[in-house]
Amino acid sequence: MTHKNFDAIVVGAGMSGNAAAYTMARRGLRVLQLERGEYAGSKNVQGAIMYANMLETIIPDFRNDTPLERHLVEQRFWIMDDTSHTGMHYRSDDFNELSPNRYTIIRAQFDKWFSRKVREAGGTVLCETTATELARDSSGKVIGVHTDRAGDVIQADVVVLAEGVNGLLGTRAGLRKTPKPENVALAVKEMHFLPEEVIAERFGMTGDEGCVIEAAGTISRGMPGLGFLYTNRESISLGIGCLVSGLAATMEKPYDLLDGFKRHPSIRPLIAGSEVKEYSAHLIPEGGFKAIPQLFGDGWVVVGDAAQLNNAVHREGSNLAMASGRMAGESISLIKSRGNPMTKQSLSLYKAMLDKSFIMKDLRKYKDMPSLLHTNSRSFFMTYPQLISQAAQNFLRVDGTPKIEMEKATTAAFIKARSRWGLLSDAVRLAFAWR
């Protein structure tokens, strides 16, 4: 038995799926959204910084009722060795604007809200339903999905794959390859609960102002990785992520890395006295531009993390997910309104929109960055953080040693650790990857 009641089926109710489903439902398309979790957001993990602009484009008045935690006014970037951090802090009252640019959110609450918006727009959302296989016609065109309910095929003109980084449905159907271990990071995260006023005092915040710390260095034990601390209203999200290939090669356990990050003397006082209530782990696509698979075909498009659309250099993912979901929704709605079939040719409109947007421009700009950080990870995540700390100490300690000798000691330490040629080559490669 088959059902053909829908213009589009969206698989997944995360950032990208909700953006796609909402966009199409608002334009009058009959949309079915399938989510394997008990409710939208029940399975989803994020730091989480939400970038307002991408949501505002979809739901302009979202601030009226979205569950937001804090708007961010301060960003700290830290390079860490085992006992120190060297930091760049940026704080600006300009971020206390009428419509703030970045917020912390809690995904379980946020996704539930977004899913309600999809239903209010007219979409049908079916939770606790896993799409198990794509259905195709004799020409190979995708015409719907099989689910773990009753075994029927649900048909639609187009299927939007918004199933997240694992993308089993697309992989099983041969639409993309399993992401390589060097192209995905495994991140672990804990939620540390503290009274609102303690968080405000510890981070120097007023009202719902928020602060972010992102840290790299010896905390990832030589692997490409990043630690993060995000302030929510009554909790702190604390986590660390490293490439799966690095974890496999070193046999380091993600939880041990998180434990080390929590015990670091620069982090420990910030979470002191907190109660840990949640622990989660999730993959992040970090292969960049070169890892993006085919994005559309006869009867299907792929969006968000499932399409590997993630800017690891700028630590952005949810915004690319929302924007790509919206663009998929807009292009499908346009094709439908013209009365055209959902062929590979017509759906190439989605890719054209992505190419013109910040998504492909940003990912293309940093296309060499992932491989640079991966191949030189020991230098960037172990040697340089230690040298930077040593240089700072040589600069700051006053013990009667002449400054010229301190400076010579710093230069000698750098050359000993990396050689003149190594330093020059790292600098040139970094400049090229960043250009």
Ligand X SMILES: Cc1cc2nc3c(=O)[nH]c(=O)nc-3n(C[C@H](O)[C@H](O)[C@H](O)COP(=O)(O)OP(=O)(O)OC[C@H]3O[C@@H](n4cnc5c(N)ncnc54)[C@H](O)[C@@H]3O)c2cc1C
Closest CB to ligand X among residues 190, 208: 190
Q: Quote the least distance from Cβ 35 to ligand X, whole Å.
A: 5
Distance CA 280, CA 275 (A): 15
Q: Quote the least distance from Cβ 304 to ligand X, whole Å.
A: 2
Q: Which residues pair with 31 in a beta bridge?
A: 8
Q: Quote the least distance from Cβ 302 to ligand X, whole Å.
A: 9
Task: Determine the interface stretch with ligand X among 81-89, 114-122, 163-171, 409-417 (rule: CB under 6 A).
Answer: 163-171
Please, what sign has the CA dihedral across residues 197, 103, 317, 132?
positive
Q: Quote the least distance from Cβ 46 to ligand X, whole Å.
A: 4
Distance CA 114, CA 55 (A): 10
Closest CB to ligand X among residues 148, 201: 148
Q: Quote the least distance from Cβ 395 to ligand X, whole Å.
A: 33
Task: Determine the interface stretch with ligand X among 57-65, 90-98, 161-169, 379-387 (rule: CB under 6 A).
Answer: 161-169
* 171 touching ligand X, by CB under 6 A: no
Figure out which of the listed residues 100, 123, 164, 210 binds ligand X, where binding follows CB under 6 A. 164
Figure out which of the listed residues 9, 10, 13, 388 binds ligand X, where binding follows CB under 6 A. 13
Q: Quote the least distance from Cβ 212 to ligand X, whole Å.
A: 8
Neighbours of 104 (CB within 10 A): 25
* 142 touching ligand X, by CB under 6 A: no
Closest CB to ligand X among residues 17, 287: 17
Residues 209-248 that bind ligand X (CB under 6 A): 239, 241
Residues 31-60 that bind ligand X (CB under 6 A): 34-37, 43-49
Closest CB to ligand X among residues 50, 80: 50
Q: Quote the least distance from Cβ 342 to ligand X, whole Å.
A: 20
Let me know: does 45 contact 28? Beta carbons within 8 Å.
no
* 9 touching ligand X, by CB under 6 A: no
* 25 touching ligand X, by CB under 6 A: no
Figure out which of the listed residues 123, 179, 317, 329 binds ligand X, where binding follows CB under 6 A. 317
Closest CB to ligand X among residues 7, 163: 163
Task: Determine the interface stretch with ligand X among 68-76, 172-180, 318-326, 414-422 (rule: CB under 6 A).
Answer: 318-326
Residues 320-349 that bind ligand X (CB under 6 A): 321
Closest CB to ligand X among residues 157, 305: 305
Q: How many residues bind ligand X (CB under 6 A)?
A: 39
Neighbours of 245 (CB within 10 A): 18
* 163 touching ligand X, by CB under 6 A: yes
Cβ neighbors of 108 (< 8 A, separation 6 or more) are 41, 42, 44
Q: Quote the least distance from Cβ 334 to ligand X, whole Å.
A: 22
Q: Quote the least distance from Cβ 306 to ligand X, whole Å.
A: 6
Can you give the chain as a three-state secondary structure string? CEEEEEEEEEECCCHHHHHHHHHHHHCCCCEEEECCCCCCCCCCCCCCEEEHHHHHCCCCCHHHCCCCCCEEEEEEEEEECCCCEEEEEEECHHHCCCCCCEEECCHHHHHHHHHHHHHHCCCEEECCCCEEEEEECCCCCEEEEEECCCCCEEEEEEEEECCCCCCHHHHHCCCCCCCCHHHEEEEEEEEEECCHHHHHHHHCCCCCEEEEEEEEEHHHCCCCEEEEEEECCCEEEEEEEEEHHHHHHHCCCHHHHHHHHHHCCCCHHHHCCCEEEEEEEEEEECCHHHHCCCCEECCEEECHHHHCCCECCCCECHHHHHHHHHHHHHHHHHHHHCCCCCCHHHHHHHHHHHHHCHHHHHHHHCCCHHHHHHHCHHHHHHHHHHHHHHHHHHHHCCCCCCHHHHHHHHHHHHHHHHCHHHHHHHHHHHHHHHC
Please choose, from the candidates 296, 284, 320, 71, the residue with its C-alpha nearest in 3D space to the C-alpha of residue 183.
Answer: 284
Residues 242-281 that bind ligand X (CB under 6 A): none
* 359 touching ligand X, by CB under 6 A: no
Residues 402-421 that bind ligand X (CB under 6 A): none
* 387 touching ligand X, by CB under 6 A: no
Task: Determine the interface stretch with ligand X among 8-16, 291-299, 366-374, 411-419 (rule: CB under 6 A).
Answer: 8-16
Closest CB to ligand X among residues 14, 388: 14
Give residues in contact with ligand X (CB under 6 A).
11-17, 34-37, 43-49, 130-131, 162-164, 169, 187, 189, 239, 241, 282, 284, 304-306, 310, 316-319, 321
